[in-house]
Structure 1
Amino acid sequence: MVKIGNVEIDEFPLLLAPMEDVSDPPFRAVCKENGADLMFTEFISSEGLIRNAEKSVQKLDIYDYERPIGIQIFGDKIESMREAAAIAEEAQPEMIDINYGCPVKKVACKGAGAGILLDIPKMQKMTEEIVKQVSLPVTVKTRLGWDDSTIRIVEVAKRLQDVGIQALTIHGRTRKQMYKGDADWTKIAEVKNHPDIHIPIFGNGDIDSPEKALEYKNKYGVDGIMIGRAAIGYPWIFNEIKHFLKTGSKLPVPAMADRVAVAKKHLDFSVEWKGELTGIFEMRRHYTNYFRGIPNFKPFRTRLVESESHAELLAILDEIGETFVEAYA
């Protein structure tokens, strides 16, 4: 078993990455049903939380079937982050996660997310204050560094461990790389295999198949893997990896009926949680991946992304199931 504070998770857990405008309750629901062991909310602005901003507060919504789950917060002000952690703790997650990895300009260039990698003493102090503030386990997700000249990830891991974090997830890219190039898992392995590191270390970046998950597990020795973009529109990846790690054989790809059923469930929950207008709009990013690789699918995709009616979308999805019934047979 992997332990994060007093939270026990299966051996070699698979984590769902916190992704803005993606890792909401509807998406988390279908990932949990398909094998995700530990999930995190979308990252939540500390300033938004302490000002009771509606969008930030809504992201605190968690459901019992999602557990264990962590609430992730970000910000550049230590006092605001401390207060936000206290607010997040009231929502009763299993852990509080700190985002030190977001590379987007509006976050990182203000000193939050990956931006704090340019000020490691502040990063350590902020983390220490959050650990002191809450009784829940505190975890961190970060990157290797700001750029190739600022990679100090072993030092970062030791400092954060020293102030009390209970697990660390490392995305194997620098902030400058954004999501380009290959993730460097050798640097993640340096942290995991360092004699002074005793907390769980999870690797993140480029895991998009069961074969790669097994290769990286064996090669780099991490305690688990976090999966992000590969799960968008394909929540089956968690169970596929688990099955492959256990048996060495691959599960069959999900049949068309399965894809339609999960897409409909995802859509229904999205509309229920966000309202019809927003729920429909935010589902659009998922359809292409739910039905990836089907020839002559473009007319259906166009209809899916242009429709503004929940009932009509359900009908289109049923039509897709009938039209392409043998697509993944």
Structure 2
Amino acid sequence: MAGVTDRPFRQLCKELGAGYAVSEMAASNPRLWASEKSSRRIDHAGEMEPKAVQIAGADPQELADCAKFNVDKGAQIIDINMGCPVKKVCNKWCGSALLPHEDLVERIVNAVVQAVDVPVTLKFRTGWDRQNKNALRIARIAERAGIQMLTLHGRTRADGYTGDAEYDTIAAVKASVAIPVVANGDITTPEKARHVLDKTGADAIMIGRAAQGRPWIFREIDHFLRTGQHLPAPMVAEVRHLMDEHLRAHYAFYGESLGVRTARKHIGWYVRDLEGGEEFRQRMNRLESTGEQLLAVNQFFESQLKYGERLQYRLAEEKLAA
């Protein structure tokens, strides 16, 4: 999730119950390693362990060298991306564009595994379209090469993020390999997490888009899986505090100008399902300083207290009218 899973957000998710978080994609092209964007993406200073870096590319030797470079910088796990369906990635024959080329996939996973002495994992999709699913073959290639964990998104490259994720292929992959398999795709609630684990037999689940604006989903799922009970919605005061901490860490990471701009999407996700959230998002997007933005966010969450001490998603307007 390029542009989302930066260090401040990964750290927040880990603090709220995520057992594992992977960096944004790091390009394998060595000419990009020293760029400001790439340096920021692989910055793990102060982050809770394990520190995992996801690498993307199409050249086996470049990917191997990139893996070594990141291990030398402190990466404890290397994750190879063969799942991204975004055009600007696939147009460079990276991400899920690699899936039709099984010989190249084999050379890549072998090169990376042999290049480093830390665990190497693979994120991929079920195939390149619904008529051409090859996840079973990719999984076996990866296992033979020494890949130590597979994360499988239940869509093909052609699906992008449309339609519903399917879990039968994940179940088939899990049954065909001896290494851990992580299920990914459309896991948005504790109940869905339980369903996907039961349906696929996966060893774990990965949350992506559902954590945007709701990083406490990790503790909600963990609690439900352990107890069968739902946690109550978070307190407004807690979310206000979490937002304040997240934004301050975000500003420190990106600086004033870039920090304001890149924080806007996170703020929008936090408020999108709250009463007045859309109007606030539009007003907030016109603010140009971190101080103004931070003050506005604190005031917005203070205003949510009129609906109750806990967040009232999609219910605020009805509760106020009553």
* Same fold flag (TM > 0.5): yes
| Cross-structure match for 1:257 | 237
2:162 to 180, 192, 205: 180
Shift in CA distance, 113/89, structure 1 to aligned 2, threshold 3 Å: same
Are the aligned partners of 1:48 and 1:56 in contact in 2 as well (CA < 8 Å)? no
Per-residue CA deviations over 1:122-161 (Å, capped at 9, x if unaligned) read 0011110111110111000000111112211111101110
Q: Does 1:305 align with 2:285?
A: yes
| Alpha-carbon distance in structure 1 between the residues aligned to 2:14 and 2:63 | 28
| Cross-structure match for 1:248 | 228
Q: Does 1:128 align with 2:128?
A: no
Unmatched runs of 5 consecutive residues or more in structure 1: 1-18
| Alpha-carbon distance in structure 2 between the residues aligned to 1:130 and 1:38 | 21
Shift of 1:42: 0.2
> Which range moves more in the overlay, 125-134 or 252-261?
252-261
| Alpha-carbon distance in structure 1 between the residues aligned to 2:152 and 2:161 | 14
| Cross-structure match for 2:9 | 27
| Cross-structure match for 1:8 | none
Tell me the C-alpha RMSD between the 2 structures.
1.4
2:219 to 226, 239, 263: 239
| Alpha-carbon distance in structure 2 between the residues aligned to 1:50 and 1:321 | 40
| Cross-structure match for 2:75 | 93
| Alpha-carbon distance in structure 2 between the residues aligned to 1:301 and 1:292 | 8
What is the aligned length? 309
Q: Does 1:322 align with 2:297?
A: no
With CA pairs under 8 Å and 6+ residues apart, which has the higher RCO, 1 or 2?
1
Shift in CA distance, 139/274, structure 1 to aligned 2, threshold 3 Å: same
Shift of 1:321: 2.5
1:201 to 156, 181, 186: 181
Shift of 1:113: 0.5
Per-residue CA deviations over 1:231-260 (Å, capped at 9, x if unaligned) read 011100000000001111111111221222
Q: Residue 91 of structure 1 aligns to which amino acid in structure 2? A: K
| Alpha-carbon distance in structure 2 between the residues aligned to 1:327 and 1:183 | 35
Q: 3-state SS of the aligned residue for 1:245?
A: helix
| Alpha-carbon distance in structure 2 between the residues aligned to 1:153 and 1:146 | 10
Are the aligned partners of 1:244 and 1:250 in contact in 2 as well (CA < 8 Å)? yes
Q: 3-state SS of the aligned residue for 1:295?
A: coil
Are the aligned partners of 1:72 and 1:97 in contact in 2 as well (CA < 8 Å)? yes
| Cross-structure match for 2:314 | none
2:248 to 255, 260, 268: 268
| Cross-structure match for 1:114 | 96
What is the 5 A alignment of 1:152-167? 152-167=134-149
Normalising to structure 1: TM-score of the pair?
0.90
Shift of 1:117: 0.4
